[in-house]
């Protein structure tokens, strides 16, 4: 690879997931030379991508939380799309992950990012900023960005050098993931739910469901979180539709009508990681954007340590807070029927109809 000039650095991003591609785009916009290494053979796709994504997105007009058994609305945010645009100056879009990944990948290529597929990393030398692939290829760079996901080999190599191990930990839940096509739904009410974008939650004992439209209201994404029953060494497997339906048989009839249309389903073990004493890049769009903005003002390798310290200061607390919030929301959603659940429902009901609810629920935005 070419050596860095006084105004541009050579950066290698390991992993072409959403966070890795976001980092690649942001760093390329900052004027640096970026290569992305991804072990997969193919990608199943302010950065110049809004016009491409808009027709692929669904913008929810409201968010609703339903009681699991009868569908009663416990919490509701009307005009969610308008309020988000007014507050942030940007839309809230629900997107299919594949559409977002492909769009990010194309934008990265347009900016000159080199995307190397079928590139499996077998070792990383952090002292020399060198990466070795299974085909014998070696890459060197001024900065290595590990964005290879939950089971990150970069993270494992880095911690191993300091005598630490940090395998992902199970949350205790798994997710059934479903995508339904509008064209396959004959039920008029279900078709209306899909074609008119909104975001629906059902919350109940030890489980919850979130469902929303994608691809301009042509598909419906449903995620069902339930207690994990996968073996410890299995992170993903094909699901049993009958087993899934049995879990939710006493839930809202309209949810069950959606589940009656499911032909295949996958089960994903939900994992997390404990907090580290120090921190680095994390796979997310925000993290990639912040990293690129910091590196945009870096003109030499000597400035990298300070830029990365700033990155950690800016992102570590927020990233950890998001994880804690996720677990807190899970506890709110998964309450068993009883006194605590009734108090929660009364709290939500007291916010219905308020222009500015005192309780930020279901949305934290």
Average pLDDT value over all residues in the chain: 87
Tell me the C-alpha distance between 212 and 194, whole Å: 7
Sort 263 into a burial class: Cβ within 10 Å, 0-12 / 13-18 / 19+.
exposed
- Asked whether the domain spanning 59-92+169-272+335-365 has the same topology as the one spanning 10-55+96-165+281-327, the reply is no
What integer pLDDT is reported at residue 196 of this predicted model?
92
Tell me the C-alpha distance between 264 and 247, whole Å: 16
Domain ranges across the chain: 10-55+96-165+281-327, 59-92+169-272+335-365
In 21-97, DSSP assigns E strands to 33-37, 63-67, 73-77
What integer pLDDT is reported at residue 189 of this predicted model?
97
What integer pLDDT is reported at residue 47 of this predicted model?
67
Task: Give me the mean pLDDT over the 253-263 stretch.
Answer: 98
Share of the chain above pLDDT 70, in %: 90
Tell me the C-alpha distance between 140 and 337, whole Å: 57
Strand-by-strand arrangement of the 73-77 sheet: 73-77, 63-67, 199-204, 207-214, 219-227, 169-181, 266-272, 236-238
Q: Under DSSP, is residue 97 helix (H, G, I), strand (E, B) or coil?
A: helix
Q: What is the pLDDT of residues 300-325, one digit of tens each?
A: 889 999 999 998 988 888 878 777 88
Tell me the C-alpha distance between 86 and 365, whole Å: 12
What integer pLDDT is reported at residue 11 of this predicted model?
94
Q: What is the pLDDT of residues 115-166, one digit of tens each?
A: 999 999 998 988 888 999 999 999 999 999 988 877 888 888 888 777 777 7
H or E segment to which residue 180 belongs: strand 169-181
More confident residue, 362 or 236: 236
Residue 70 above 80 pLDDT?
Answer: yes
End-to-end CA distance of the chain: 43
HSE value, Cβ hemisphere, 13 Å, CA-based, for 24: 33
What integer pLDDT is reported at residue 84 of this predicted model?
92
| pLDDT-derived band at 48, boundaries 50, 70, 90 | confident
The whole-model pTM stands at 0.81
Q: Under DSSP, is residue 188 helix (H, G, I), strand (E, B) or coil?
A: helix
Class of domain 59-92+169-272+335-365: alpha beta
Residue 44 above 50 pLDDT?
Answer: no
- Least confident interval from 44-58, 163-177, 187-201, 305-319: 44-58
Share of the chain above pLDDT 90, in %: 58
Task: Give me the mean pLDDT over the 45-66 stretch.
Answer: 86
CATH classification for the domain delimited by 10-55+96-165+281-327, as one of 3.50.50.60, 3.40.630.10, 3.10.20.310, 3.90.1150.10: 3.50.50.60
């Amino acid at each position: 690879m070419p050596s860095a000039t006084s105004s541009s650095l050579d950066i290698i991003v390991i992993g072409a997931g959403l966070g890795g591609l976001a980092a690649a785009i942001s760093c390329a916009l900052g004027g640096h030379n970026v290569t992305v290494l991804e072990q997969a053979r193919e990608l199943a796709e302010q950065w110049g991508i809004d016009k491409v994504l808009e027709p692929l997105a669904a913008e929810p007009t409201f968010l609703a939380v339903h009681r699991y058994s009868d569908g009663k609305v416990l919490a509701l945010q009307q005009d969610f799309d308008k309020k988000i645009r007014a507050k942030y100056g940007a839309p809230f879009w629900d997107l299919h992950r594949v559409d977002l990944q492909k769009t990010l990948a194309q934008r990265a290529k347009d900016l000159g990012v080199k995307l190397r597929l079928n590139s499996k990393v077998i070792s990383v030398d952090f002292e020399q900023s060198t990466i070795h692939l299974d085909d014998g290829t070696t890459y060197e760079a001024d900065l290595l960005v590990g964005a290879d996901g939950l089971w990150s080999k970069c993270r494992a190599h880095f911690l191993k050098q300091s005598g630490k191990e940090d395998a992902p930990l199970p949350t205790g839940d798994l997710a059934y993931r479903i995508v339904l096509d509008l064209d396959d739904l004959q039920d008029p009410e279900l078709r209306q739910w899909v074609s008119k974008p909104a975001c629906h939650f059902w919350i109940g004992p030890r489980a919850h469901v979130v469902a929303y439209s994608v691809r301009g209201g042509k598909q419906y994404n449903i995620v069902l979180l339930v207690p994990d029953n996968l073996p410890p060494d299995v992170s993903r497997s094909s699901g049993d539709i009958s087993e899934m339906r049995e879990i939710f048989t006493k839930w809202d009839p309209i949810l069950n009508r959606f589940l009656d249309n499911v032909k295949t389903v996958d089960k994903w073990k939900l994992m997390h990681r404990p907090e580290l004493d120090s921190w680095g890049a994390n796979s997310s769009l925000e993290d990639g954007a912040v990293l690129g903005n910091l590196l945009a003002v870096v003109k030499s390798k000597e400035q990298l340590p300070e830029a990365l310290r700033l990155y950690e200061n800016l992102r570590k607390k927020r990233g950890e807070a998001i994880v804690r919030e996720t677990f807190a929301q899970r506890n709110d959603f998964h309450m068993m029927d009883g006194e605590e659940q009734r108090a929660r429902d009364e709290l939500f009901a007291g916010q219905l109809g308020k222009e500015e609810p005192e309780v930020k629920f279901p949305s934290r935005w």
